[in-house]
Structure 1
């Protein structure tokens, strides 16, 4: 069915539509399976109405052989149907897992701290698990309920009416399960997310908790969060489990009721003994999908909520079109009156910053804490999008590049360096599968860490551990610097690159900056220590998110460090060294 003009189809829906042939096959198998479910009823009917009155052993043997063959066919079809549904879930995961992972990576850059963390991946797991479970099979069997009821009516009207009353009761319980379990399930999910966030935060800050005696207090917070989650989860389970138990009891009562009605009809010679047993089995089979659906309703609710969340998230973060590949940048970085808002926030952190750098320039960015230095450099590398203004490389705005293409020309060392599980070489090469040893070693030497690395137990093959825990903070920062320099990028942005370095590391950093500038790179360094700006020739001063000065380093330092008798006016140092005051 074609989508209406202007209506964007859900990516999840498209992924399921790609499996429509599999669903058609499941539907055909469900038809055959439900017809084969009549085997037990018809077998009992024939045994009681034909075999017992005639006392014919050959007839009994023939019925047994026929029923056995039908049961085997039913089991094989049921097995194949389950495997097909499981593979549908796997196919959905394979089609969307890369897209969902990309969304998880981009989400903090768009929503900031209000992002859902790893929830999108859990949502995809929920949908896949539900499709691979017994729940979908029950929903495929539900449409056959009227068929079984019709056969019950064919046996006798009273048997049909009894089965119909039971079906109405169970369907009512199903509807109640839907309405009563929706809110508890949603609340339990939110409580689980808060509990998991607390555990992850505590794990990342284990040293702080232990060293300052906070572990006991955090344990109490965890116990409270965990208790809230258990209470919420218990409420959801109580609703689904309680209604499921009621449905199970009602189904057993219905089966006995059909037996009783059948016995009444036999007493009045309106039915045979075979109809008693066949009607009981058939009515139980008719309501089995309803019972199974109620039993799996909790997983169905979770999968449906995951579906809605994931659909909304993917629609809010559409696939980025791949732009035309531009030439390798080589000459200029320009910042045009950019203003920056943190992701998911409305506070302007950096406002109306303008400057330009050419190949070989080194820019130092200084200013008090909270002045917007880190926010500015995040915009320079394309991590945060400016709310206003443009950052351009060789005249092209950063949004004209794909992140993968632009990343080859950018080296970025963030303030908080975190390495990935893998070897030192893999981290330096940014996990490039085509990286050569020469390129990796060249980046390490440029960063001044080659000697440090070869002294490690396994050299470049040393495993850094999860989050780089096998290295000290200084070692991790120096390896991060080598990663930023890998591939000779045109723009290198270093956010407080010497915060964990010793004297030797500071000297290596200075040499690396000078070496990068000599080969024509633009280097931007955020620094709080004078050694950080030793190798730059330009300086930018930020205060309260506004540019206070920009120009040659010596001139700007002379203006910034001069004694102040009165409150200074904002100063801008132009490229020729002159001073312009408003």
Structure 2
């Protein structure tokens, strides 16, 4: 049921999409199973041909029979090759379709998890690619061939019950070794995977902070911290490989031993005139084919275990229903902000970063947030734009909680400049336009001119077509700040949240920022500025002082600013926080 002035945001449940993708894969894999059944029957062609040549052609001396048997066998083998190629092609498409169906939801889940938890979820995409690779490279074919090993065992029983018993015994031993392999490597595999992920995250952290590592000469410490996790992961993988290789070698020995037993027992039965000579070799070939899938599964157990683990992690990553819950899109906001008793605690055993923060801003009002380092200013800014969720409390935009907004709809009305601006791989114009496809040139130019970035951009070699993001280290701090401001101003947002917008600006940049903010103020844009430098808050309507995660003072700038400069604001000052609805 839709509401006037709003539209229904159509989004699918990511968890449901994953389950449907798995169901679709299972349905298609049933078709692959049918191919495997026919291929298993066709694999009996060679043993049958061998029996006929040894026991029929050699006895009768008939060339016509030999020619006819050969033609039929070659035709069957050609059909087998065609079916094998088709089976591989189907598996490739199944894997590609699975990755295509979950990649976009995984990226969305990873972005949200990174904003909320500070984690980096690019490994989720790699894990989806690994599942696709497992399917596409034929790693799954042994799993399909194993159930049809029963067909070969039955055929061996038809040759002679004793041979069938030996073949069954070999299959039971190899299946037991498969189960033992799974049990033996499960725990070390899980530990090694976790340590590998931890080592990768540490390496990424050190690489992101390469300047700090280089400037402070902490290469040995960085490498030592990373090396401890990396070494633990290598030890885990060594344990997995050692146990897997031992069991794989045992399984190979068992398979060869069973074949020797088949040949020896077959020779004995031939001497007893219970089977023919051709049947000996046929039974050996069929037994080998019956046991081969089990041996292949043991040898490839690491890939099977990795795929199971990756599927479990993908399912877990997409289980957060808030990622794609259907939401109503409220009407375009005017910009009134209400913050009610915000509390943010990063973890249950951690000290709260914000404690009971409340304030209100009317449409077009501007607020400066000040306070010492570690007071929670940047955390508050991130909560205001919805990149992280508060532990308790509410943030409302025109009376509607921002958590109820679809993210893509809310983002159209929000301009945000983080403390450390970063850019996506692409051109300056694409980054200013928030990576929109074919953005209006006029809107990009307007945002750049308002923010004062145009003067900087036009002097670059390729202007707005300059590639940044993966090479953003070439930009100076001031250039990053101005381009980040242009991105915040793009699309005429009704709310601006700027975290230390003048931190890296020179005098000219500072003046351009002031002009931009005054223009936004005149356009009734609600502005929230986290500031350390006084020039950023000299024109705001209100000030909020944060101390140790709590509101120390809140009110009109002309009332609060003198108290800050005269050091009258302290923990004993009566708070001027308006009471919002509970």
Scaled by the length of structure 2, the TM-score of the pair is 0.93
| Cα distance, 1:135 vs structure 2 | 3.0
| Cα distance, 1:37 vs structure 2 | 0.8
SS in 2 for 1:178: helix
CA pair 212-338 structure 1, distance change in 2 beyond 3 A:
closer
1:29 correspondence with 2:35:
yes
Could you tell me whether the CA contact under 8 Å between 2:338 and 2:395 is conserved in 1? yes
Partner of 2:457: 453
1:200 correspondence with 2:200:
no
Could you tell me whether the CA contact under 8 Å between 1:109 and 1:343 is conserved in 2? no
Could you tell me whether the CA contact under 8 Å between 1:551 and 1:574 is conserved in 2? no
| Cα distance, 1:331 vs structure 2 | 4.7
CA pair 331-140 structure 1, distance change in 2 beyond 3 A:
closer
Partner of 1:374: 378
Q: How many equivalent residue pairs?
A: 566
Partner of 1:580: none
| Cα distance, 1:28 vs structure 2 | 1.4
Match among 269, 272, 277 for residue 268 of structure 1: 272
SS in 2 for 1:324: strand
Match among 174, 188, 194 for residue 190 of structure 1: 194
Deviations 1:295-319 (A, max 9, x none): 2111001111112222223224554
Considering only aligned residues, what root-mean-square deviation do their CA atoms show, in Å? 2.1
SS in 1 for 2:131: helix
Partner Cα distance (2:520, 2:568) in 1? 36
1:259 correspondence with 2:271:
no
| Cα distance, 1:343 vs structure 2 | 6.6
Partner Cα distance (1:325, 1:376) in 2? 24
Partner of 1:108: 114
Could you tell me whether the CA contact under 8 Å between 1:11 and 1:311 is conserved in 2? no
SS in 1 for 2:544: strand
Partner of 1:82: 88
Partner of 1:250: 254
SS in 1 for 2:34: helix
| Cα distance, 1:206 vs structure 2 | 1.9
Partner Cα distance (1:566, 1:83) in 2? 71
1:357 correspondence with 2:365:
no
Deviations 1:415-449 (A, max 9, x none): 11111111111111101114111110100000011
SS in 1 for 2:498: strand
Partner of 1:91: 97
Segments of structure 1 that go 5 or more residues without pairing to the other structure are: 1-7, 576-582
CA pair 382-564 structure 1, distance change in 2 beyond 3 A:
closer
Partner Cα distance (1:219, 1:44) in 2? 62
CA pair 27-147 structure 1, distance change in 2 beyond 3 A:
same
| Cα distance, 1:121 vs structure 2 | 2.1
Where in structure 2 are the equivalents of 1:337-348 lying within 5 Å? Answer: 337-342=341-346, 347-348=351-352
Deviations 1:475-520 (A, max 9, x none): 1111000100001100000011111111111111111111111111
Partner Cα distance (2:569, 2:368) in 1? 26
Scaled by the length of structure 1, the TM-score of the pair is 0.93
Partner of 1:5: none
1:56 correspondence with 2:62:
yes
| Cα distance, 1:134 vs structure 2 | 2.6
Segments of structure 2 that go 5 or more residues without pairing to the other structure are: 1-13
Partner Cα distance (1:318, 1:382) in 2? 13
1:233 correspondence with 2:232:
no
CA pair 362-322 structure 1, distance change in 2 beyond 3 A:
same
Match among 502, 513, 518 for residue 509 of structure 1: 513
Partner Cα distance (1:256, 1:468) in 2? 66
| Cα distance, 1:333 vs structure 2 | 1.6
Could you tell me whether the CA contact under 8 Å between 2:335 and 2:362 is conserved in 1? yes
Deviations 1:136-156 (A, max 9, x none): 211111111222111111111
Which structure's relative contact order is higher, taking Cα pairs within 8 Å and 6+ residues apart?
A: 2
CA pair 218-22 structure 1, distance change in 2 beyond 3 A:
same
Partner of 1:162: 166
Partner of 1:518: 522
Partner of 1:384: 388
1:330 correspondence with 2:319:
no
CA pair 546-478 structure 1, distance change in 2 beyond 3 A:
same
Partner Cα distance (1:101, 1:567) in 2? 44
Partner of 1:172: 176
Partner Cα distance (2:19, 2:328) in 1? 29
